[in-house]
Every structure is written in C-alpha cells, then in structure tokens.
Chain A
Amino acid sequence: MAIIPATWDMYDLIQGFLQAPAYHLIFEALLMVLIAKLFFSKSYKPEKIRLSEKEKEVLVKEWKPEPLAPDVPDDHPALQAMEKYCVDGAVGKTVNINGKDCINMATLDFLGFIGNKEIEEEAIKALNKYGVGSCGPRGFYGTMDVHLDLEDRLAQFMQTEEAILYSYGFVTIASAIPAYSKRGDILFADEGIGFAAQKGCVASRSTVKWFRHNDMEHLEELLKEQEVEDKKNPKKAKVTRKFFVIEGIYANYGDICPLPAIMELKRKYKVRIFLEESMSFGVLGATGRGVTEHFGVSIDDVEMVVASLENSMASIGGFCCGTKFIIDHQRLSGMGYCFSASQPPMVAVAASKAMELMQNNPVMLVKLRENCERVHKAIKDIEGVEVRGSPLSPVIHLQLSEPAADRDLDMKTLLMVQDKAISQGVAITPARYLDNEEHLLPQPSIRLSVSSQLSEEEIDKSMDIIKAVFRSVLSGNTAGHGGGGDSAEAHS
C-alpha cells in the first residue's frame, strides 16, 4: 500500500523525536517561539504625540508671535537725518537742502551728469515716444529698441561680445552671481565687497570663502587649501566651479583691487572672475572702461564685469558684460532679468546719452582724476581723522583714527560733522550700513564723493570747510563734551 512508506516516515520521525537529546528539543522550541514572535510583532514605530483638537485650540490661543517689526523710535538717527536732509530739486553739482544751496560731495555722480541738459533733452524725447514704463519684462514685449541700442553700446564700449541690461543696480550683481554659481560651487570673495554682491553670494547657496580685504597672500592660502581638498576628492573637484568675487574700486574702502595679482592667481588655480565695477566704470582708465583698462589687463580674461549705471552714468539700472557664451545664459537664468519689468526706456536713453557724452569727451575723466587727487591732497592732514582710499578713487572715506568702543558714539560725532558741514554749505554724508547684516562691518566714516564738475576753488573751499568742521567737532569732543548731542542741538 502506498501509505506504508509514509507511515514509515512518520514512524521514523517520532522515533527520532523520542531519541533526540533534551537540549536539542529545547533549542528548537526556542527557535520556533522566536520565529513566531518576529512574525507577529509589529515593526518598531516611535510613538507620535498626538494632540487632541482641544489641546491644539489651547496651543493656538497661547501662542504669541513676536511683533512684525521692532519699534523704531521716531528719532532714530538715520530717519531723522533722512527727513532733515530731504532734497528739493536735482541732486547735481549743488544740492538744495532746506532752502540752502550746498556743494555736493555726497552723492556718487562722478561725472556730473545730473542736471545735464543734453541728457534731459534726450530723455524727454524718449518720454514722448515711449511713455515712462515699459509695462512688461524683457520676454513679453518689454524689449524696446533703446534697450538693444544701449546693450550694443555697452558691449562695444567695454570691448566685449555682449552686454545684458538690468533695471536696477542692486539686483544686477545679486542676480548675476546665482545664475552661474550653484550649491556646491565655491566663491572666493573679498571681505570688503558691497552688500549687493554679498546678497548674491547668499542667494547662490554656494560655499563662500572670505579672504581678507585685498590680501593676496590670504587668498592664495585659501586656494592652496582648496587644492589639497580637491586632490583628496578629485571626483567632486571636477564639478566644483570656482569664482572670485571682487570689486574694481571698493565702495566701502575707496581702494583699488590688485587686479594683476588676482589674474595670476586666476590662471594658476583656474578660477573665474566676477568683477564688480560700479565705482570704477566711467572713472578708471583712459576712456573710463574701469579697472581692467587701468591696469592694462585684457577684458577677455575677466569672465564677467558687472557695473551699475546709477553712479557715473547718473541713470537707473545696471549691466553685465563678457562673452556671448557667458552673458547669454543670464537671459534665461538671471532672476532679476527674467522676472522683472525692463528699464523704463527714457532711463535707458539717458544712460545711453551719458555714455555717448563720456566717449566723445574723455577730458572729463582726466578732470575727475585731477579733482580726486586734489581732494586727497587737501584732506590728508586733519588730526584725528584717517583718510582711506586710493588717490585715484572718487570715493573717499574719512574715519576717526581713534574710534570709540561704541559705534553709535562715533556715528553721532560724524553726524555732527555732517550737520555743521551742511550748515556751512557743503553736503556730505556718513556711509550707511545695516549693522547686523554686513559680513564685515566697515568702520563708521564720512564718505566723500568727488565730481569732475567741481572747480578747483570749489574743492578748496569745501575742503577747508570740512577740515574746519572736523577740527571743531573733534576738539569739542576731546574737551569733555563726550560726543554728546548738545552742540548738534545748538546748531540746528
């Protein structure tokens, strides 16, 4: 019968079972239990705290947000100064502050294009043809012929293949950096770069390595460190783009970047350069092309030059220039270019005309240089004041040589200087910063700005006034007034 072998098997099994040693049986039983436990037990899940709706209501009721904005007092010094020195009329060579005409040594109109009748005429012509606003981004009927003309003119002037226009200076560099540098890339940035470039670095989410202001040794140190790092991980190094972020003339210090030294490092370590020239475009170089022309460096070796049209060109907006390969990329990935309305045509025309005037009349650049040197020479010897900036720079910072421990105190002193200078007919301003937002907060300073329009007499006169004001304020301070507000009050 077929059953017999099976029963034999069964018989063997039972026999085996009976003969097996006890420890074996116990072991097997334990294994069975373990399997059963694994089978039936739930996987581990941390107990989530579930709040009941009632508890949630209570939490919602309890929560107290911070106020939206901190309470800034009405007499905040920056606000007070702003309201007190609200300007009536053009901020040109002279400014009218509270009915008094002052020589303007505050605003960044280096070539004196504000109040230029030729520019105004062109702007008004454009106003009559195009209206004011462009009513759309460049992609959607916001490209007017005047924008293309200005881009061509800029590219031609800078001797690059292409230029791209932005409608606002701040946004230019802040959009340009993140268009190329992404997460994982490395930006080697000078600690003295302006706020807009700093924001560009933040927006790019790249790793930022700061080198001490204009300190090439420190920069090379960082590059060497990076080189070692790269050797350890060549796979990553192969996709890590590297950029320098530097300025031509540093707005915060008034000094010029050592471009030739940077070019050497660039070639050696294969790093691309983003050069911000807002203060040096229309200032440095025989024709005003900026720091590359000043040092005789070929602009082809600088990947991208970025500058604002809001200083020497006395308009609104900014531009980047470089090869087509580089610049064209921004037309689709420059945030401030794609997603913003284009520059008002009349503003573009004004910038275009200003460029033309500068190109046809390079003497104004020579004049500007002379004026800068004259101011530097005149301002040197004020006791208690340190002058920062290159003699070629139209931006000059006057700092206190013995800064107080308290920044606000120094600022108060400088505001007193401003008050007195304005009352005597010279408009100056302390440089303003957001104290908590800057990467490296520069010392408080009066930021003088030089225009090519100023005559020698005007410069001498205003320098005398500034010197006298500084002396009187500083001596008042050391004489025991302790930077108090009394003298300022007495004045106003």
Chain B
Amino acid sequence: MATGRGETRTSTVENTKMSNGQPRNYTNGHKNGHTNGYKNGTNGKTNGKSEKGGRWQDDFEEYFEETPYHIAILTYLGYALMVFIGHVRDFLRYYGIEQDKSCTESNQEDYVPLYQNWESFYTRNVYRRIRDCWNIPIASCAGSHIDVQERVTHDHGWNFEMTGKTLKVMNFGSYNYLGFAENKELCGRDVQRVTEKYGVGTCASRQELGYLDIHRELDSLVADFLGTEAAITVPMGFATNSMNMPALVSKGCLILSDELNHASLILGSRLTGALIRVYKHNDMKDLEHKLRDAVCEGQPRTHRPWKKILIVVEGVYSMEGSLARLPEIVSLKKKYKAYLYLDEAHSVGAMGPHGRGVVDHFGLDPHDVDIMMGTFTKSFGACGGYIAGSKRLIRHLRANSHSAIYSCSMSPPVTQQIISTMSCIMGRTNPQEGRRRIQQLKWNTRYFRKGLHERGFIIYGNKDSPVVPLLIYMPSKIALFSRECLKRGLGTVVAGFPATPIIEARARFCLSASHNKEMLDKALDIVEEVGELLQIKYSRQPVPRWTSEALEPSPE
C-alpha cells in the first residue's frame, strides 16, 4: 500500500519475529509483508549493527502501521460515494430542485468567476457536512479544560447558531505542551506589570524604534536557553519561516525539504526563489541520494555548482508525531557540506530532558544545526517564533530579515510571557517547576501512547512525541469520533483530506503537562468507548515491546 511515507523496510525480520511472538489481532489471511508496517522504528538491532550512533537508535521507536487493505478500499468507496452524491446534489441545485445555500457573488455578471466551480466542490459537498468538527469556539483559556461554546446548525452545516451554553471538556487538542497556557500563578503578575508599563502593541518595526529593552532581553535569553551564540525573535511563528527563509537562500541554491514539512516552510521555501526538491519523509537513503546527486550534478541545465544546499526538516512532525532522524541528518549534512534548517515548532520545550527540543532529546550539539527555528505558541503558551544560530547568521537576519524591517515588533506582554516561562523551564525562577513539567509531559506521553496501543488502536509516531495521531481512516468516522468524544467530555482534533493523505484521516491528541493521570485514564476510557462504537481498533500489530516495561510512577 503506497502510503507515501519512507518505506525503509529495515525491520522485516524483527517484525515477523514479533508477530509470531504475540499473535494478537493477527489474521491468517494476511501475509507478513502486508502487516509489516513498522517502517522506521523498532530497528534497534538492525541499525545497531553500524558502529556509529547505535545508542540513540536503541531508544528511537516509531510506528507507522500500514493501512489494512479492506479499510483502504472501504475508505476510497466512502469518498467515491460522497463525490457521487455531491454531483447529484450539484445537479439538483443547478436545476433549482434543491435550494442552493452557498453564497454567490452579486452584480458581478461580466467578471471572470472568482472561483472555479470544481474548486469549491469538495468544500460544498464534503467538508460542509462535517464542518462542525472544526473552528469550535471556546470561551476560556486553552488550558487542561476548556469551555466549548455549543453551536447548532439547522441546515446541515451551512450556518451555525450559538446556543449560549458552554460545555466544559478536557482539552486534548491545544498545543499546550508544558501547560503554560494557564499562567495565573507563574507569570501572570509579570505579564500584567509589563502590560501596564509598555502597553499591548509597539506600532513600529525593530529598525524603526520598535526595538524595546525586553526584546533585547528575550533575544539573549533564547540564545542562552538553546545554547547558541545568538537569536532573533519574530512576533508570529508562521512568519518566522516565511519571512526569514528568503534572507538565507536565493536563486542558485537548493532546498531539500521533507515531504511533510509545514505550510509555512513550504511558503518560505517558495519565496526564496531557490529550487526545491522534496525527499520522502524521514527517509535518509532518499535524502543522501538527492544530496549526492545535487552536489555531483550541480544546477539543472547549466550544471554550475549550487551556491548553497539547505536541508529543511521539522523536529516533531505535527500530523505524524514522528521525530526527525536528527543524528543521521547532521552527519549527512556534514558530509555533504549542506546547511540544516530545523523547525522545532512542536518540539522546543516539549522534547529533551531540558526542554530544549529534539537537539536536546538526541543529545546533540546545538552548533551542529545551522539554523534553529522554533515557535513560542506551543510550549510557552505565547505567540511568535525565533531563529537561533551563529552570531554571524543572526547579525545578518537582524539587518536583512523581512520581519526586522517591515513589520511590527513583538507585543510586550507576549514577550514577557516567553521570558517568564523560559526562565521557569531553565530553572532560573521556580526551580524544579520547569523540570517537573517536562517530566510530567514525558510520562503522560508514554502512558497515553501505551494505553492506546494496548487497546488496539493504530497510532503513529515516536513513542516520546507528545503529538499522538490515532488513525480513523474513514471521513464519516472522523466526524462521528469528534462529536462523540466531545459529547463525553473530551476535546480532540480530527483531520482528513486534504490535510492528510486521502486514506489516512485521523484524530490527534496533544498531550500536556497539565494533564494528570486521572484525566488520562478518563480520556482513554472515552476513546475506548467511542472506539468500540465506531469499530476503529484496526491494529494487527503486536503491542510494542516498550509498553510492557513498567512505567515509573507519575511524577505528580
């Protein structure tokens, strides 16, 4: 089954062994080749044979169980049916038999239509029917519990009406990894003081008198935290990528981008004018192959050597829950003299014993990564992003990045929130509190992943990744899953095509240090109940070995 993900089947032997060992859910109709879904992980032994870096691989376990054949076929059929019905209804609408509730452009008869009809076909006929699963408004802080505002629709998703009621649910949807979204006790007072002193905005760019002393403080704190020489901060995470990448590479350069990179990285790459080549997700062989070809063959047509080659990866991939195979990427980058751009949006704060991201998780030297990028939106409960690296790089960005010149500098209260939370993680204020949260998150991650594995769900990703995608596959089931969970008091996020490949619709849980064992148990029970109802316990793989090891008690 072509899932588009790196098919490095290095672990066939091991999987077979494991399948035989624990034949749970194992149907004889399927041969081992099909059930071999452990593409990247569990290969401590096979990869361990190579001398270098055997240690990190021992602890590097990722799961990507392949989509079962019958499920894939049923999913395609589901989509086909929806598209068919969509066409029928479009036909009825066209002849006025069914009332067309979509908006139309008024008095623009002679204009070229703003959208092509087929562009909105999917939105109109598929997305609209399950629209209530997204953009759910909340009336509280995005902490461990949220107050969801109830909405009703009387016309199948065309319009919503607020009922005025709120529903308190557990929040497994926000990227509140370290639980800093709720900030009252820890940094609320500092942020309030800063708001009173500086106001909310700055109305100026860094180079045009919008550079405040707390911005300077934040820049150097970020550099200290990550262990780099310098850093620069930007008020929006998305813009950190899209506005700074063009200052780094240009025409005549090559960008090697992981196929699952975030939209902001793709947009940033496009704006650079460099050539972009995409390699298979986390597939080191493909990456090396493409690197080698690029260096040897140079630019297409002219065959001049590339000016620079930039490898762009993410630390934790937010839709897959996988980790970049950073030690291998670093050694490849060194071998081929490429530069490495690491986006730690979902990993900074959340990964590593000190919360410094995947670099910390793998115990690497931050100087080996040329450009360390990350955001403050997630673990720090704030907003914005940073780029950290050598002094030379940061000096260049300060002088030449789009964000330093053309847009407003960071809001002072947001800046203070980051300073306070980062100091806490570093142990400068509230010693132990930061460490406790990091450990709690790690424990929660393992506990929750273990629970889902044991219940027979297919989940993706690294065992230490706080992003936990649970595969549901069918588009109708993602809506039902979301609604049923919400009804039972669990707020999760679901995603389907086009955010995921067409047959890999999924729900996603984001764990947080603000969850406790009791909440996790409750959440697991709800998922179990809904999973039974929806019949989505698809896993045919044995429960991974690590789950049988006893977890230490929760560090609460």
Looking at B41-49, B54-62, B259-267, B431-439, the stretch in contact with chain A turns out to be B259-267
A311 touches B141 (CB 8 A): no
* B71 within 8 A of partner (CB): no
**Residues of chain B in range 66-88 having any CB-CB distance to chain A below 8 Å:** none
**Bound CA span A116–B397, Å:** 33
**Residues of chain A in range 118-135 having any CB-CB distance to chain B below 8 Å:** 119-120, 123-124, 127-135
**Bound CA span A447–B417, Å:** 32
* Complex contacts, B402 vs chain A, CB 8 Å: 170, 195, 199, 434, 437
Query: Beta-carbon contacts of A54-98 to B below 8 Å, as 1s and 0s?
Result: 011001100111111111101010110111011111111001010
B142 touches A141 (CB 8 A): yes
Query: Beta-carbon contacts of B157-191 to A below 8 Å, as 1s and 0s?
Result: 00000000000000101111000111110001001
Q: Chain B residue with minimal CB distance to A81?
A: B207
Q: Which of A81, A141, A142 has the most CB of B within 10 A?
A: A141
**Residues of chain A in range 315-341 having any CB-CB distance to chain B below 8 Å:** 315-316, 323-326, 328-329, 331-332, 335-336, 338-341
Report the count of interface residues on A (CB-CB < 8 A): 121
A60 touches B296 (CB 8 A): yes
B309 touches A316 (CB 8 A): no
**Bound CA span A340–B412, Å:** 20
Q: Chain A residue with minimal CB distance to B208?
A: A429
Q: Chain B residue with minimal CB distance to A70?
A: B396
Given the interface pairs A141-B174, A170-B402, the reply to whether A340 lies near B238 with Cβ below 8 Å is yes
**Bound CA span A115–B195, Å:** 9
**Bound CA span A56–B292, Å:** 8
Q: Give the size category of B's interface with A.
A: 35 or more
* A397 within 8 A of partner (CB): no
Given the interface pairs A71-B392, A346-B413, the reply to whether A328 lies near B141 with Cβ below 8 Å is no
Distance in angstroms from A304 CB to nearest chain B CB is 10
* Complex contacts, A272 vs chain B, CB 8 Å: 111, 114
> Which residue of B181, B199, B414 is within 8 Å of A135 (Cβ)?
B181
A131 touches B262 (CB 8 A): no
* B446 within 8 A of partner (CB): no
A136 touches B105 (CB 8 A): no
* B155 within 8 A of partner (CB): no
> Which residue of A64, A148, A350 is within 8 Å of B337 (Cβ)?
A64
**Bound CA span A65–B248, Å:** 13
> Which residue of A82, A115, A203 is within 8 Å of B271 (Cβ)?
A203
Given the interface pairs A56-B292, A339-B263, the reply to whether A168 lies near B200 with Cβ below 8 Å is no
B208 touches A88 (CB 8 A): no
* Complex contacts, A347 vs chain B, CB 8 Å: 200-201, 383, 411, 414
Chain A residues close to B by CB (< 8 Å)? 51, 55-56, 59-60, 63-72, 74, 76, 78-79, 81-83, 85-92, 95, 97, 104, 106-109, 113-116, 119-120, 123-124, 127-136, 138-145, 147-148, 167-171, 174, 180, 194-196, 199, 202-203, 237-242, 270, 272, 308, 310-311, 313-316, 323-326, 328-329, 331-332, 335-336, 338-341, 343-347, 350, 427, 429, 431-434, 437, 447
Identify the 8 closest CB pairs spanning chains A and B, nearest first. Answer: A69-B396, A340-B238, A168-B236, A107-B204, A325-B103, A170-B407, A341-B377, A135-B174
18 contacts between A and B (CB under 8 A): A65-B307, A67-B392, A70-B396, A89-B212, A90-B198, A97-B209, A130-B140, A131-B180, A132-B383, A135-B378, A141-B174, A141-B491, A144-B138, A144-B139, A168-B239, A170-B407, A237-B112, A315-B201
